[in-house]
Structure 1
Amino acid sequence: MPASPSTARAINDRLALRLLQQEGALTATQLKQLTGLSRPTVADLVERLTEAGLITVVGEAGEQRRGPNAKLYGIVAGRAHLAALDVRTESVSVLVSDLVGRVLAEASVPIGDDAGTGPAVEQAVALVERAAKEAGADRPHTVGIGAPGLIDPATGELRATIGLPAWHRRLVATVQERFPESVVRVENETNLAALAEQREGAARDRETFVLLWLGRGIGAAVVLDGTLRRGVSGGAGEIGFLPVPGTSALPSATDCDGGFHSLAGATAVVALAAEHGLTGPPGARPPRAETLVREAVRRAAATGEAAAREAAAREGEAGEGEAREAADGADPAAAGRFLDALAERVALGAAAVVSVLDPGCVVLAGEIGRAGGEALATRVGARLARLSPLSTEVRHSLLGGEAVLRGALLTARDRAQDDLFGPAAQ
């Protein structure tokens, strides 16, 4: 059954707006080429969207020709403001952007362990208010929130989770109370990181992949055929509870300490580093797991460079003393053995996921995954190849610490576009 004229116009308008969002400013001729629509149809939609205040003339095409240059049309970026929050156990970060994703304000605030629920929530909400004001907005049209824990797929609410601060759940409700006209969406942080890596990062060329979150907690996000899969209860990817070899006990329904979490979570990584003599400077505060991993990567890289210089020096006479000095100070064995042992642990969890889903690609993210970078990803890939017959590429996050915020912003932008442009055609 052919679409009615009004439905066809809505589909064409949405297509044009999506292209302007993705490609930036375009001429009517470029819109015609990219949409495949006729010239009169494009002219009508440009007029319609301009009158609706959704697009405007933002310049002229650079090509010089006889007569006037072609007009460039772009989305009215200030039509809506978007806010994104990355909620951690010890901090909150926020950024505010316009409708095309240009960041207008960003800030963060630490939240101490001793802060009560009320003060912690007030600190976080006040941060959003200040950022919105700095961006020139009375309120954000849409707020995307990324937080650890499970999201109830039926209600979209953050569920109570053992080990997470009580103020997390209260924060979501308070943001909605403080901005009653805004649309507030909350999503698991690992899922948001996966969405961001899919659109802007390490998985841009992948329709199917798994993102492993390695940090204070352990989790995974599953993207199959371009769609994020959350599971019936919102718990798809809770691999911290995965039973794996090498643990002292089995996990339980209320405690994942006996599962994969006890091998690859931040506390376990710090202990593993200590076993290999990596403990940080004497007298300093106990270092975080990601700091130890980053230092190990640095030492391993320095060791490789020093070894190469020493080998080159043995073939010639110049520089031999310098090469030996660098090699002696690099402490190669400890750093290398630690990264190898960590990779063995990460590969255990990855192999279980791969054997069930066969995603073809695993992205290492979270604080530890980012700190390990290419060095850790390469090691995990090599060990995974020995554990599983399924060909799987292991990559590291390209978005770093911004992945959750970027994912929250993309989610907010999608919702705002649905409201302003109309839902995307199925």
Structure 2
Amino acid sequence: MEFTRPRGTRDFLFDEMRERKKCENTLREVFETYAYQEIKTPLFEDLSLFTTKSGDEIVDQLYNFKDKSDREIALRPEITAPVARLYINELQKTAKPIKLYYFGSCFRYERPQKGRFRQFWQFGCELIGAKSPEGEAEAIAMAEQSLERLGIDTAEIHINHLGIIRALFKHFNIETEIQEKVMTLIDKGNKELLENELSSGDLINDSNLANILINLVDLVGKDEIIAKVTDLVSEFEETNDALDEFKQLIDLLKSFKISNYTINMGIARGLDYYTGIVFEIYVPELGAQKQVAGGGSYNLVELFGGEKVESTGFAFGFDRLMHAIESKKSEKNNEKDKENIDNKESIVDVFVAPFSNDTREKSFEIGQILRNNGISTEIDLSRKKLKKLLNTANKLNAKFVILVGKNDLENDNVTIKDMSSGDQELVAIDGIIDYIIHS
């Protein structure tokens, strides 16, 4: 019987895992400089947690099942809802604002395609109980800094304030069901479809509102867009608060030294719990799957029966981030092939090579001394000949090879070979650590 991995999943080998770990650690460093702390939630939750948030129609996209106690369970399709549940269970009495971040895998039963898998990873954050728009501005700044640290310099940040459209719905007394249909259409990004649906009068029979929405979602640009939005909606008093908040956000982004943003009134996020500012981040080189992050402000805790508290959050699609990083790396490799070969990353710092069976036990002792001092070390475990040992060290791109010979050991010495220069030096065993660290 032949076993293969399930459709829509992947195996990650050594090189790819190193790159993923590097990306993960970079994101951790950035998030923690903004005082975020890590949490973990279960891989599976009660099915109702996700249907309450996204509706029963989401079930078709889930891996859900009944457990042995006949409870309806689902593998998490995202991590925002589990975080809201965690907050209600554990953190309601914690002083606010609360800053937390998470990294983990999610599962959706979707048709696998390029950039979209059934098991995927999210790296995201939640800021619970901060004032708006300060919280959104800081979150956007953190997302931008993360991308800069990862070397992704072509990302585009698109921002909107859904409070403006929702205020228009309120003024024109649009039913909730119709509101969500319109927001779903906007979120699809198909402006021709949206215009046809709104112009037909089937969804909204007020032509004034239909025309305003068609013109509004078409506005994309820099700060001048705010004036155009104001001209479109200023007669509707209900939009004033959202407009003022949007203007404050733009001013705050400048305080955070962020200039790489686009005001895009067509960003909707497609979920009814988003209440205010929303944003999406694109890397154009990724084509149809160019969105690498999305987020905004919402009140999900109240939906789950908790207190009314505003949250701001976003999540990176970790797999798409990796795709963007790989694209950049391929670009650089094409430009600097030789340099990249010369600068190949070391898998270990030191390779310990015993000359014979007589020196094998001492080799293990030396290897443990190195490891106990935080130096990554590989020791020959296959009893290879010297030539093959050096070939193995080269494949690992080890910085040093410690040659453990019987004659050297009689004087408590070993020979250390610098693999980049080819130089060899006799070093006392009790001086190995100092030699490796300072070479």
- Alignment TM-score, normalising by the size of structure 1: 0.26
* More strand, by proportion: 2
